[in-house]
Amino acid sequence: MPLSMPSVSSDIPDLIAVLHDVLPDAKAPVPLHEPVFAGNEKEYTVDCIDTGWVSSVGSYVNAFEEKVAELSGVNYAVAAVNGTAALFIALKLAGVEPGDEVLIPTLTFVATANAVAYCDATPHFIDSAVNTLGVDPIKLAAYLADICDRSSGRTLNKRTGKRIAAIVPVHIFGHPVDMDPLCALSAQYDIPVVEDAAESLGSIYKGRKAGSLGLVSALSFNGNKIVTTGGGGVILTNDKNLAVRAKHLTTTAKQPHAWAFNHDQVGYNFRLPNINAALGCAQLEQLDGFLKSKRALARAYEEAFRGMNSVTVFKETDFARSNYWLNAILLDSAIAGQRDVILAQMHEAGFMCRPTWTPMHDLPMYKDCPRMDVSVATDLCCRIINLPSGAALGARYISTYGDAS
């Protein structure tokens, strides 16, 4: 064996062989998630150029917002420049103010924590559940009972004296958080739910769509998401006043007028350009097909890894119907220490697999933030490997698994 090859101990199962089995025709390097442009993408973007409407005003922005609202089962959708911006505005709409704390999972992409920081608020990290990878509402209930002080009529963290202003469930890899007990906690402690649905367009929790489960929600349409606008996001809510404020805040807080430039508060330049919305409109038309393909791919991975020692494919819970944005395997604890060796082996073989994110509480700028025991999330982070999950990869499995999906 050449010295440059990663050293893999013999007790690691042959994951590369399984990847080749599931993805026989995929051309290396196989990205983690590649978009599919098989619809009206060119027609709509060329239409923007032909009509001269590429920027902040244009019919595709309206159409995109309407379609996203419909697909997410909410009354109002406001397009934004990306998912991070959408989540930041969503937190502001929920009333997060400088000095507040916001409960977020430590197992998430850094944008969740950054959006809190942009509010001059402090992320307060909570643990994950093994059945959803998202916030564990049972463990959270015990923790809130311990730390919350409601004597002032507001919910304060009695250890820091700060107000707890929001809770942000994140549907990790598209898998819905167990929202009912979480919403019960939200009601009990009067802490609004801001749903980070960046990864979960098309996912369903007990018949209700991801993005419709909080006071206000944020979606992402980054290039790696199930549907992309190049870069983009959306703020979702059923509350008309919040929707009006979302549009106002994302468009520099300018008061409507034929020519005058009056702005009534510090606003943001978060408008989604029309050309990006055009791309999004074409992509949304294909969402059903993408979902079918991605769910079929998940089934294929499940079958292929079945019975393999030391590795478990992560699967949606009974109450969830996931979009399977990213497929994931969990390494058994016995081989978790080999994770990076396995990843190097996968990359060497042309599969751009990745671990999940470094937990937020391990990042230098967030290491001193308050947190509960986050041992489950920390353990999950050491054991998760995400597998190639683009919709194109699942197309071959729709005929086999499409009916069951």
What residues line the site for a copy of itself (CB under 8 A)? 34-35, 37, 41-42, 45-46, 48-50, 52, 54-57, 81-85, 109-111, 114, 117-118, 120, 222-224, 228-231, 252, 254, 258-269, 271-276, 279, 343, 347, 352-358, 363-365
Output 71 or 272, the one with its CB closest to a copy of itself. 272
CB of 167 to a copy of itself, least distance (A): 21
Output 252 or 310, the one with its CB closest to a copy of itself. 252
Q: What are the backbone angles phi and psi of residue 329, rounded to the nearest 5°?
A: -110, 150
Output 207 or 256, the one with its CB closest to a copy of itself. 256
CB of 19 to a copy of itself, least distance (A): 15
Q: Which residues contact 256 (CB under 8 A, 6 or more apart)?
A: none
SS3 state of residue 165: strand
The neighbour count for residue 358, using CB atoms within 10 Å, is 12
SS3 state of residue 403: helix
Q: 3-state DSSP: the chain helix, strand, coil percent, rounded to 5? A: 40, 15, 45
Output 290 or 357, the one with its CB closest to a copy of itself. 357
Q: 317-333 burial, b for 16+ CB within 10 Å, e for fewer? A: eeebbbbbbbbbbbbee
Which of 216, 260, 266, 206 lies closest to 236 in space, CA to CA? Answer: 216
CB of 154 to a copy of itself, least distance (A): 24
Do residues 204 and 174 touch, judged by C-beta distance below 8 A?
no
Output 10 or 265, the one with its CB closest to a copy of itself. 265
CB of 344 to a copy of itself, least distance (A): 8
CB of 362 to a copy of itself, least distance (A): 9
Output 113 or 185, the one with its CB closest to a copy of itself. 113
Output 113 or 166, the one with its CB closest to a copy of itself. 113
Q: 183-196 burial, b for 16+ CB within 10 Å, e for fewer? A: bebbeebebbbbbb
Q: What are the backbone angles phi and psi of residue 254, rounded to the nearest 5°?
A: -85, 135
Do residues 8 and 349 touch, judged by C-beta distance below 8 A?
no
CB of 187 to a copy of itself, least distance (A): 31
Output 49 or 138, the one with its CB closest to a copy of itself. 49
Do residues 389 and 329 touch, judged by C-beta distance below 8 A?
no
| Residue 275 to residue 50: CA distance in whole angstroms | 11
Q: List alpha helices for 159-232, DSSP H.
A: 179-189
CB of 339 to a copy of itself, least distance (A): 10
| Residue 277 to residue 236: CA distance in whole angstroms | 16
Output 83 or 211, the one with its CB closest to a copy of itself. 83
Q: Which residue has the tokens 């008309």?
A: 240
CB of 283 to a copy of itself, least distance (A): 10
CB of 259 to a copy of itself, least distance (A): 4
Do residues 78 and 247 touch, judged by C-beta distance below 8 A?
yes
Output 221 or 401, the one with its CB closest to a copy of itself. 221
CB of 230 to a copy of itself, least distance (A): 3
